[in-house]
Amino acid sequence: MSKQKWYMFQACCQQFSGIEADGLLKYLTEEEQKEAKDSFVSYSLSIPTAQIRKMFHRIHYSWLSELFSNFPKDKQALYLRALNSSQSKGLSSLLGTSFKQAPIPKLASEYLLGSLTLAHPLATEVQREFLEKSSFSPLLDFDKSRLVNLIDLLGIFDLAAEVKKVVEKTRLKEVYLWLNQQQQAFLKNCLRQEDVLTEERQGIHSWTKNQKAFLHKIHLKGLARFSQALKGESSKLVWHLTRTLDKGRGEVILKSLEKVEKSDLQSALQKQVFSTHKFLSEYCEQ
């Protein structure tokens, strides 16, 4: 029996209890029965298969690389077909694995994702729809691109604090030229507010070596604010938000949360996240 047929047969057996599944084996040859019993993977999770697929497809592919790297190349190629196009393309590039980009039957896809779930922390996570309601809940609907955009804008609160001290018009012009229109509009908005963080500022000269370094610094500042604002939130909610992001950014947030102490600034930082979310929504509607 080919691998593909084995997976389909196993997926079919998963629809029955153990006794009924054993009953189906009697229709196979002795050799096939032995192979089937050796290779069966059970994934009788409480999460329905449709929800498994939905949850798995929301995870950024970089979080799956360690799991997939333990598979032989032929198994990698098979499981890649069960992922969505963004995940499979990104992961195949990361792993250096080529695979046939062709659809597979829904039943086979659900079986493959179900067996992956057992080997992944997803099996212990709560569906985002059933998480306890939080002010951060609307962010669970963000994709990676929009969440990164929000984090970038949070870093502009730090930039605004530096810009307020700048008197050189040429330096200010340079700063505005390196921002896109949305960021420029948000900077003007931030300049009308008092920042809640009172950390010692290094001066705008430390930001403006080149545009790439400048935007990277804004992003790191935004990650720091986002992490601080998340302190005290449910670990389940944090899990879902960090898995929407790539592993690099997600791990920065998780490590920051280990170090950050909950402070009196918590409420103010959270308000900055929510006001930034509101700005993003209104700006997109323009």
Model confidence pLDDT, tens digit, residues 161-182: 888 887 677 878 888 999 999 9
Q: Give dist(CA 32, CA 75) in Å, integer.
A: 20
Residues 179/149, Cβ–Cβ less than 8 Å: no
pLDDT for 259 beyond 80: yes
pLDDT for 269 beyond 60: yes
Q: Which of 50-59, 211-220, 273-282 has the lowest mean pLDDT?
A: 50-59
pLDDT for 44 beyond 50: no
pLDDT (0 to 100) of residue 46:
47
* Stretch 219-237: mean pLDDT: 93
Question: What are 29's two structure tokens?
Answer: 């040859």
Asked, for residue 117, whether it belongs to a domain, the answer is yes
Domain count, the chain: 3
Q: Are residues 6 and 32 in the same domain?
A: yes
Question: What are 285's two structure tokens?
Answer: 């509607």
Q: Are residues 14 and 48 in the same domain?
A: no
pLDDT (0 to 100) of residue 167:
67
Q: Give dist(CA 149, CA 146) in Å, integer.
A: 5
State how far the alpha carbon of 187 is from the alpha carbons of 10, 20, 39, 149, 153, in Å: 57, 64, 58, 14, 8
Q: In this structure, which long-range contacts are made by residues 13-17, counting pairs with CB atoms below 8 Å and at least 24 apart in sequence?
A: 13/40, 14/42, 14/43, 14/44, 14/111, 14/114
Asked, for residue 132, whether it belongs to a domain, the answer is no
Q: Are residues 69 and 195 in the same domain?
A: no
Q: Are residues 165 and 221 in the same domain?
A: yes
Q: Which of 18-22, 108-112, 150-154 has the lowest mean pLDDT?
A: 18-22
- The model's pTM: 0.80
Q: Are residues 112 and 244 in the same domain?
A: no
pLDDT (0 to 100) of residue 31:
78
Asked, for residue 131, whether it belongs to a domain, the answer is no
Last residue of a domain, one of 99, 125, 151: 125
* Stretch 243-264: mean pLDDT: 90
Q: Quote the domain boundaries for residue 35.
A: 1-40
Last residue of a domain, one of 125, 160, 180: 125
Q: Are residues 259 and 230 in the same domain?
A: yes
Q: Where are the beta strands (DSSP E) in the chain?
A: none
Q: Are residues 145 and 246 in the same domain?
A: yes
Q: Are residues 104 and 222 in the same domain?
A: no
